[in-house]
């Protein structure tokens, strides 16, 4: 459930980055102060393990299909929530950079969806509570499946909210939820079952690993509260700051707020955008430039606070088509030209 850059707005991306950075900073502090430095290589290599283990296809009984694990839960179980969260964060960073799985702007969203919910909500509130009394095979299975399912449901819901707040798709909320949640219910069950199988094996083979992971962690009520509070604060501050910045762009947060409030406020008012369009009209060198007109007369339709539909008349569309093709051709020419020059230089040199 990697979010892609193309599906989010800068406001949502920025807010989630801030929230993720906050949790990560707190986790790093915890790892530094509460644990030995032995955990660092362990976290590093476990991240690589998660990567590698995602290559294993597990046959799902009675369905004929197979699935793989995300790994968030097993990390939380074996490393504890803080180190687990950081490990997921580095796995996702490498996935974003090398495999284009989720983008750099969406990185905050992804770490939050796949790391925060399983490590800081599902793990302490469900897994830890269920496993408090005793370790047994059935308990491990029950706790793992429940934790995985709830963690993934929360994560999937996060994806829905982030996408809708970003306003890039036309998917209605209900439809999106109905698309996402059931799929992730199935994924969660598989994740839980496989995680449980691994955890049981480790518990039988090297019980001290599991004991160490669960005893070293002091997830008291205080720290969880602190984490959540710091997080909400960070998200709100950045979100507010960024949306003030983008205040006239009815993209993103504002779009969602308008939508929920049910009032359509179409006029682009004040702020950066106004100044930009002022500047634009001053410097526009074509008097009959139709783009300007479209800025000033947003199409009075939709009623959902949609952004201005830029192509008002056929003339603009045609201009866009012509100019667009030209731009692309120019880009291709420049790129091709540079490559050609470089190649010629090599030939001369060699």
State in angstroms the smallest separation of the CB of 150 from another protein.
Answer: 21
Q: Which of 133, 174, 208, 282 binds another protein (CB under 8 A)?
A: 208
Any idea how long the chain is? 350
Interaction between residue 247 and another protein (CB under 8 A): no
Q: How far is the CB of 81 from another protein (least distance, A)?
A: 16
Contact with another protein (CB under 8 A) among 134, 170, 282, 350: 170
Q: 98, 215, 262, 350: which one contacts another protein (CB under 8 A)? A: 98
Sequence-ordered list of residues with C-beta below 8 angstroms from that of 248, at least 6 positions apart, any chain: 268, 269, 270, 271, 272, 273, 274
User: Is there binding between residue 322 and another protein (CB under 8 A)?
Assistant: yes
Q: Is 231 in the site for another protein (CB under 8 A)?
A: no
Q: CA-CA distances (angstroms) from residue 152 to 51, 67, 177, 291, 300?
A: 18, 15, 13, 45, 40
Among 229, 232, 236, 321, binds another protein (CB under 8 A): 321
Q: What's the closest the beta carbon of residue 52 comes to another protein, in angstroms?
A: 4
User: Does 291 engage in binding with another protein (CB under 8 A)?
Assistant: yes
| C-beta of 125 vs 271, nearer to another protein | 271
- Rounded-to-10 torsion of CA 211, 82, 188, 173: 160
Q: Binding of another protein at residue 241 (CB under 8 A)?
A: no
Residue 142 within binding range of another protein, rule CB under 8 A = no
By CB under 8 A, residue 293 contacts another protein: no
* Residues 42-61 within binding reach of another protein (CB under 8 A): 42-49, 51-61
Q: Taking a C-beta distance cutoff of 8 angstroms, is the pair 139, 115 a contact?
A: no
- Taking CB under 8 A as the criterion, the residue among 282, 314, 349, 350 binding another protein is 314
Helix/strand/coil (H/E/C) assignment for every residue in 84-102: HHHHHHHHHHHHHHHCCCC
The CA–CA distances, whole Å, from 98 to 5, 198, 342 equal 15, 28, 26
Among 129, 132, 201, 269, binds another protein (CB under 8 A): 201
Please give the C-alpha separations between residue 29 and each of 4, 22, 24, 46, 309, in angstroms, as whole numbers. 29, 11, 9, 20, 48
Per-residue interface string for the shown chain with another protein, residues 58-97, x marking contact by CB under 8 A: xxxx--x-xx------x---x-------xx-xxx-xxxxx
Please report whether residue 267 would count as binding another protein according to CB under 8 A: no
Quick one: which of 28, 134, 8, 137 has its CA closest to 87? 28
The verdict on 135 binding another protein (CB under 8 A) reads no
Among 70, 103, 188, 305, binds another protein (CB under 8 A): 103
Min dist CB 129 to another protein, Å, is 23
Q: Which residues contact 191 (CB under 8 A, 6 or more apart)?
A: 69, 70, 73, 148, 152
Q: Does 319 bind another protein (CB under 8 A)?
A: yes
Residue 271 interacting with another protein (CB under 8 A): no
Burial class (CB in 10 A: 0-12, 13-18, 19+), 15: buried
Tell me whether residue 40 or residue 130 sits nearer to another protein (CB atom). 40
């Amino acid at each position: 459930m990697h979010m892609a850059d193309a599906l989010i707005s800068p406001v949502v991306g920025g807010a989630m980055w801030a929230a993720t950075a906050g949790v990560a900073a707190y986790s790093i502090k915890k790892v530094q102060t509460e644990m030995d430095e032995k955990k660092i290589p362990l976290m590093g290599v476990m991240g690589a393990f998660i990567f590698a283990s995602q290559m294993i296809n597990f046959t799902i009984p009675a369905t004929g299909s197979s699935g793989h694990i995300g790994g968030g839960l097993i990390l939380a179980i074996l490393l504890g929530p803080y180190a687990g969260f950081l490990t997921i964060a580095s796995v996702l960073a490498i996935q974003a950079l090398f495999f284009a799985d989720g983008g750099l702007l969406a990185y905050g969203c992804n770490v939050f969806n796949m790391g925060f919910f399983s490590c800081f909500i599902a793990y302490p509130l469900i897994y830890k509570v269920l496993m408090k009394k005793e370790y047994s095979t059935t308990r491990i299975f029950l706790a793992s499946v429940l934790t995985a399912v709830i963690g993934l449901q929360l994560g999937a819901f996060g994806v829905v909210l982030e996408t809708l707040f970003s306003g890039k798709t036309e998917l209605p909320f209900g439809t999106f939820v109905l698309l996402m949640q059931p799929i992730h219910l199935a994924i969660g069950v598989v994740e839980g079952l496989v995680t449980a199988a691994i955890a049981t094996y480790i518990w039988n083979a090297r019980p001290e690993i599991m004991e160490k992971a669960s005893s070293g962690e002091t997830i008291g009520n205080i720290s969880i509260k602190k984490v959540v509070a710091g997080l909400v604060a960070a998200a709100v501050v950045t979100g507010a700051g960024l949306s003030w910045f983008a205040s006239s762009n009815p993209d993103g947060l504002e779009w969602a707020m308008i939508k929920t409030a049910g009032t359509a406020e179409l006029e682009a008012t004040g702020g950066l955008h106004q100044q930009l369009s002022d500047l634009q009209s001053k410097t526009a060198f074509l008097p009959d430039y139709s783009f300007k007109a479209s800025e000033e007369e947003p199409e009075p339709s939709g009623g959902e606070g949609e952004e201005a539909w830029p192509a008002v008349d056929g003339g603009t569309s045609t201009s866009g088509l012509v100019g667009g093709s030209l731009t692309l051709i120019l880009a291709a020419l420049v790129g091709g030209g540079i490559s050609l020059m470089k190649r010629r230089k090599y030939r001369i040199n060699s």
